[in-house]
Amino acid sequence: MSSDEDTTVLPLSGGASATLVRRRAAANDRGAILYVHGFADYFFQEHVAEHYTAQGYDFYAVDLRGYGRSLRDGELPNYTTDIEVYFEEIDAAVAKVREEHSRVVLMGHSTGGLTTSLWAHERRAGELIDALVLNSPWLDVVEPPLMRRVVKLLGKVAPKAKVRANLGEAYGAAIHRSRNGEWDFDLRWKPLAGFPVLAGWIRAVLIAQEKVHKGLDVPVPVLVLHSDKSVLNAREWNEDVSKADAVLDVEAMRKWGPKLGTSVKVVEIKGGMHDLFLSARPVREAAFAEVDEFLKSA
């Protein structure tokens, strides 16, 4: 964490807590951005905060319960049986941000993109945010219907059953500076291979995605960004992994993105990795440019 940032613990029900990270702009005149990370992740993308504080936004990010700065000893990392449980910390974070800002942009990555979409739909009457920006949101899985039904049943009867030992190291090796990437992050909080994938968590994701597929009513302008292609199931790093989404299927983002609301813009970023803002410099600059242009009118 840089010296320009500070953190606030957000107490949650049941003794849990989340962590709100803040970096202030030297001259704030555009409101605030609140960032929500994905699975096997936490906020470490300081260059994203720097980009937006330079433009006059105060930048906030929340490490959800069980993730990153919020992970406590004895806590099962990155686990829930209901995606909507995270609404509590988003509510708390937005309330904190709105103490100082009347304009708030919500930004979600991957599973965070799924969570923030559902939150924005459920909280639509509150007029709490002004725009929603999604960086490679997880809107569907690639598994066939029968497999989905089996996993949902397993997740109900044995929620902590291990579906996968981890996510594999291909993507982690593409972004961490110790391997083939340029970024530094805490490998305790974001291991290169991620954390075990448990049945109850996958069931929660599937249930959340089914709500998206029925159509949401997010009332504010939505920007969905995704790579131009996916390279799934890579067992180890190769150059293609650094030029494509190696985690999620971009076709699902193309298909379901327009179902999020009545004002949705879906944009392809050529050569983008799963986290578009961690892609090669020209690619991430293209992603930033799309967001910047969108926010001018959102």
Q: What is the pLDDT along the chain (298 residues), one digit of tens a residue?
A: 454 679 999 999 999 999 999 999 999 889 999 999 999 999 999 999 999 999 999 999 999 999 999 999 989 999 999 999 999 999 999 999 999 999 999 999 999 999 999 999 999 999 999 999 999 999 999 999 999 999 999 999 999 999 999 999 999 999 999 999 999 999 999 999 999 999 999 999 999 999 999 999 999 999 999 999 999 988 899 999 999 999 999 999 999 999 999 999 999 999 999 999 999 999 999 999 999 999 999 8
CA separation, residue 15 to residues 10, 11, 65, 79, 215 (Å): 11, 7, 10, 15, 34
CA separation, residue 34 to residues 53, 166, 290 (Å): 12, 28, 17
**Do 275 and 110 contact (CB within 8 A), yes or no?**
yes
The phi, psi pair for 160, rounded to 5°, reads -100, 10
d(CA 231, CA 247): 8
Structure tokens of 173?
A: 């090796």
- What is the per-residue pLDDT for 4? 63
pTM: 0.97
d(CA 153, CA 200): 9
CA-nearest of 169, 135, 159, 228 to 40 is: 169
For the chain, give the number of residues: 298
Question: What single string gives the DSSP state of each residue in 24-89?
Answer: --SS--S-EEEEE--TT-----HHHHHHHHTTT-EEEEEE-TTSGGG--TTPPTT--S-GGGGHHH
237: buried, middle or exposed (CB in 10 Å: 19+, 13-18, 0-12)?
Answer: buried
In 3-state terms, what secondary structure has residue 119? helix
d(CA 271, CA 279): 8
**Do 189 and 196 contact (CB within 8 A), yes or no?**
no
Other Cβ atoms closer than 10 A to 159 = 17
Helices 199-214 and 145-157: crossing angle in degrees, nearest 10, is 130
Buried b (16+ CB within 10 A) or exposed e, 106-135: bbbbbbbbbbbbbbbbebbeeebbbbbbbb
- What is the per-residue pLDDT for 233? 87
d(CA 72, CA 77): 9
Other Cβ atoms closer than 10 A to 290 = 18
53: buried, middle or exposed (CB in 10 Å: 19+, 13-18, 0-12)?
Answer: buried
Helices 87-98 and 111-122: crossing angle in degrees, nearest 10, is 70
CA separation, residue 48 to residues 44, 90, 279 (Å): 9, 19, 12
